[in-house]
Amino acid sequence: MGDTARDLLSYTMSLTHSELDAQVLHQAKRRIIDAIGCAIGAYAAPPVKIARKVAPAVYQGRTARVLGSLSRTSLDMAAFVNGVMVRYLDFNDTYRTVDGAHPSDNLPAVLAVAESEDATGMEFLVALTIAYEIQCRFVDCVPFNSRGWDMPVSGAIASALACGRLLGLTESQLSEALSISAISNICTYQSRAGELSMWKGCAAANGARQGVFAAVLAKEGMTGPSSPFDGEYGLWPQTMGRAYEIRGLARKGQKFGVAQSNIKRFPVKDSLQLPAAAALDVHGKIQPDQIEQIRVETYQSAYKGAAADKEFWAPKTRETADHSMPFCVVAGIRDGAITSDTFLRERYLDNDVKELLGRCKVEVAESFTKQAPAVRNCRITVIARNGREVTSHRKLTMDDIERGLEDAELEAKFISLTAEFLTRDQQKRILSAVWNLEQAGSTRSFVDLLEV
């Protein structure tokens, strides 16, 4: 066993609830509210309907329920369906430093096992914190994306370990779950290249699904490949060409990943949160038919992931549109809002949007690139036909991200996302249950509330 596997196993086995102070628990509960809101809000989405349709009805053995319908299925399929729900709107939290991920993609896997095992609310919170911590520290240390690998590589590992903790795996069993998840789930970044498909919002859910599957197999005695990270054909040589150390796994009194992820204000890619905000700043200050040019200045990685490909300049799918910097800027300037309805209405296909996209230009500012990711910048300048200019320059620091939305804003986001499917009384009961989750004796009673 190499150092990476040993460190991850030791951390998963040893973290206790006494190391999570009230503030860490509060932040974990905030992410649960956010993810559940995103999931319920996506209940009627096409990929979610597909995922529900293929999930078999299962009533014996280890089962968990699908959010919304509360139909029973296998643990891995519950993790998948619920994961597609959490991710579809591109509104769940993100974490980005050296790499990027949506750590709440692991929540459906952890919740499925917590429900099946009837874990306490505190046990669920500890396991979720472990999943966040492991995936966030991979993001801090390993640039998978730059080598063409996608976030479920680390997500499957995080889910397997957190679910293994809830299943009560021995250290030996947990080692097997880690090996199975690490070797069997190496997925490429093609999910996020070119014209984006439904799978963009399903890939991480599949990683979480496979993490659950690995943990359950290990519980029953399945063994996995030896030396999953450092072996001749292990994860490091096959993906990165060299070994990486996963540093900074938080302990008591330190900053936990579950308190550091970015809770989004807009249902768009992480690097588009600033352009969206800046676009709303300039909305209405120059009438669209009087705009000569829209100039967007951003940093290199944001440009590469949201403006470099030709598909981002003429999006044909919802998945491409919510990753398109030009579209999000134009939609914000034209409409004064970027919401889930922006994409439901397929605003990206409208002629007035397409016309203004032709007057948009995105440039990489070297000074912005040097400051990222510690300080993220976006400047939008709108130039009128008469020469008048209107500018908005937005910045975002890690401290800004950690402060995030106020609790009242987070609750308002949850209420807005779930209004179509939940009554006001249901919303209140779910929010109350999450805010008091550490006191709950049963995770199943919490899932009972999540029916539309």
* Residue 299 lies inside a defined structural domain of this protein: yes
CA distance 294 to 425: 45
Kindly report the CATH number assigned to the domain that includes residue 35. 1.10.4100.10
CA distance 44 to 97: 33
Task: Indicate if 311 and 432 belong to the same structural domain.
Answer: no
Kindly report the CATH number assigned to the domain that includes residue 323. 3.30.1330.120
CA distance 153 to 128: 18
Task: Indicate if 13 and 91 belong to the same structural domain.
Answer: yes
Cβ contacts of residue 392 below 8 Å, gap of 6+? 277, 278, 279, 281, 282, 379, 380
pLDDT at 25: 98
Whether the model pTM is above 0.85: yes
Specify the pairing of strand 360-364 against strand 291-298: parallel
Domain count across the chain: 2
DSSP assignments along 352-387, one per residue: HHHHHHTTEEEEE-HHHHHHTTTEEEEEEEEEETTS
Task: Indicate if 436 and 390 belong to the same structural domain.
Answer: no
Cβ contacts of residue 142 below 8 Å, gap of 6+? 98, 99, 154, 240, 244, 246
pLDDT at 1: 62
pLDDT at 384: 98
- Per residue of the chain (452 residues), give pLDDT as tens: 679 999 999 999 999 999 999 999 999 999 999 999 999 999 999 999 999 999 999 999 999 999 999 999 999 999 999 999 999 999 999 999 999 999 999 999 999 999 999 999 999 999 999 999 999 999 999 999 999 999 999 999 999 999 999 999 999 999 999 999 999 999 999 999 999 999 999 999 999 999 999 999 999 999 999 999 999 999 999 999 999 999 999 999 999 999 999 999 999 999 999 999 999 999 999 999 999 999 999 999 999 999 999 999 999 999 999 999 999 999 999 999 999 999 999 999 999 999 999 999 999 999 999 999 999 999 999 999 999 999 999 999 999 999 999 999 999 999 999 999 999 999 999 999 999 999 999 999 999 999 99
**Full residue range of the structural domain in which residue 428 is found:** 3-263+405-447
CA distance 111 to 127: 9
Question: Quick check: 401 and 257 in contact, CB under 8 A?
Answer: no
CA distance 23 to 10: 24
Residue type, 246: I
Task: Indicate if 395 and 411 belong to the same structural domain.
Answer: no
